[in-house]
A = this chain, B = another copy of it.
Amino acid sequence: MTAAARDLIHAMGYAQTTLADIARAADVPLGNVYYYYKTKDALAQAVIDTRAEEFKQLTQELDRLSDPRARIEGYLSMLVLDSEAIARHGCPIGGLCTELNKSDSPLAKPANALLRSQLDWLTRQFQQMGKAEEAAELALQLLMQLQGASVLTQAFKDATLFTRQVANSKLWLQTLT
């Protein structure tokens, strides 16, 4: 059920996604939702937890690579796989943060933490590339480009825009000595 909720929230936004939508997509009766989650917010929190877990799994895979640069490239390659979904619905995490940070929902903080953890992981990779001093700034630059590319990719409905930006970012990554 959290999987259905995750996909619907990505596609329609949190406020626009109704519990009836989720129940239908998960093929359970509406009333049943409340047996597993006390409130809609509680379900959204579970979705955020799922997103956090997914990213943790991804980084655990990537961290097995010995070269930090290769790890970042792997991360970028994973993102490209979702470029069509990004063209349709934007970045699932960036979009969620953008929405939840309006009219301060209690969910804003955990959602923001998803972006923060991506920033932190990227920072660690740049540190291990010997960029101790500029690591935080480089991570910020990269994440910013990805988020900006997501916004424009969605608005202009052009998935190639995202893939081209990722290609640019990979080239940029190579220029870092």
Q: Which residues of A are at the interface with B, using a C-beta cutoff of 8 A?
A: 11-13, 15-16, 89-90, 94-95, 97-99, 101-103, 111-112, 115-116, 140, 143-149, 151-152, 154-157, 161, 165
Contact = CB atoms under 8 A, between A and B. Distances in A.
A144 B165 CA distance: 9
Contact of A155 (B15, B97, B161): B97
8 closest cross-chain pairs (CB), A and B: A148-B148, A144-B148, A147-B148, A147-B151, A97-B155, A12-B103, A13-B102, A112-B155
A58 to B, nearest CB: 20
Given A103-B11, A103-B16, A98 B152 contact: no
A156 B117 CA distance: 12
A144 B155 CA distance: 11
17 contacts: A12-B103, A13-B102, A15-B16, A89-B101, A90-B98, A94-B155, A97-B151, A97-B154, A101-B155, A111-B155, A112-B156, A116-B156, A143-B152, A145-B148, A147-B147, A148-B149, A148-B151
Contacts of A15: 13, 15-16
Contacts of A145: 144-145, 148
Given A11-B103, A148-B145, A154 B98 contact: yes
Contact of A152 (B90, B95, B115, B157): B115
